[in-house]
Amino acid sequence: MEGGILKFLFFTILVFVAIGHSNGQLRKGFYKSSCPQAEQIVQNITWKRVASNSTLPAKLLRMHFHDCFVRGCDGSVLIDSTANNSAEKAAIPNLSLGGFDVIDEIKTALENTCQGVVSCADILTLAARDSVSFQFKKPMWEVVTGRRDGRISKSSEALSEIPSPFFNFTSLKQSFANKSLTVHDLVVLSGGHTIGVGHCNLFSNRLYNFTGKGDSDPSLDSTYVTFLKTKCQSLLDNTTTVEMDPGSSLTFDNNYFSALKQQKGLFQSDAALLTNKGAKNIVDEMLIDGKFFTEFSQSMKRMGAIGVLTGSNGEIRKKCNVVN
């Protein structure tokens, strides 16, 4: 009898260990022995590129977010379409992504240093962190590594999985919950809108035809509406861009939340954060000195772990834009 129980316990422990491992072996310094310079190479190239292009942090942060929300953080957003497959890159939300050349440059350098070791998924995760961190000259959040690259990339999935700038609070909350992220993560990660720009066609309905009667969105500051109309002069303008964080779109700070409180959130999905009591309280919290950086660091770690491929799953792509 006792032997049976011991066998059962041993089996249970084995299963538990196996589950624990398949759950992802992301860890700090994953490449310490296999490619010791990996993280330094990523940082050097990213910082060099950001030094000459201040719009890169917003681009790489967005690319990382768009990658993680489709099939997890597996680098699938980097894959090019082929004759018989329309990849994530071809989806409408991804047509305005930028920074692929930076990822390619890093990948080339890493392949020259340690061939077939560092995944594109990890490169993107590290480069997003390092690009935002350039301004502070120190890593703004910890990145655990060990992700492997996915082999599947479909534009239809990107279209259905990436939260839309037109979403209301309920849709946003559901979209994040689908990725095991909380309302807290939703509000904190929306703070990423403190850098970067938005295209007119993603918010001009709020200026010109909010309820179909040629009106503007009453939840948008009226002076701000007037200003935005000088930039976006029609509903169809899809080339003009406007700062998401007015006057501060190149500085990573908590100013987005101040703008939000002044009813200057650019997208409906920004304004939506004030329509829920819990979310609104978190917005207020982010205005406390230093709070946003601490919380953003935690939420980015959670986002960077969504649906990761580890161990023997996936592959290490030779080139980030094509599967092996």
Chain position carrying tokens 């990849």: 87
The alpha helices in the chain, defined as continuous H runs, are 2-22, 38-52, 56-68, 100-113, 120-133, 155-161, 169-177, 183-190, 205-208, 222-231, 255-261, 268-271, 277-285, 291-303
Chain centre to alpha carbon of residue 48: 21
In the numeric block, which tokens belong to residue 111?
């392949």
Angle in degrees, 0-180, between the axes of helices 100-113 and 56-68, rounded to the nearest 10:
80
Determine whether 66 is an active site residue. Answer: yes
d(CA 304, CA 24): 12
In the numeric block, which tokens belong to residue 160?
């259905």
d(CA 150, CA 147): 9
Phi first, then psi: give them for residue 82, nearest 5 degrees: -125, 180
Annotated catalytic residue within 64, 66, 184, 193: 66
Buried b (16+ CB within 10 A) or exposed e, 107-135: bebbbeeeeeebbbbbbbbbbbbbbbbbb
Dihedral sign from CA coordinates of 102, 104, 106, 109: negative
d(CA 73, CA 125): 8
Catalytic positions are: 66
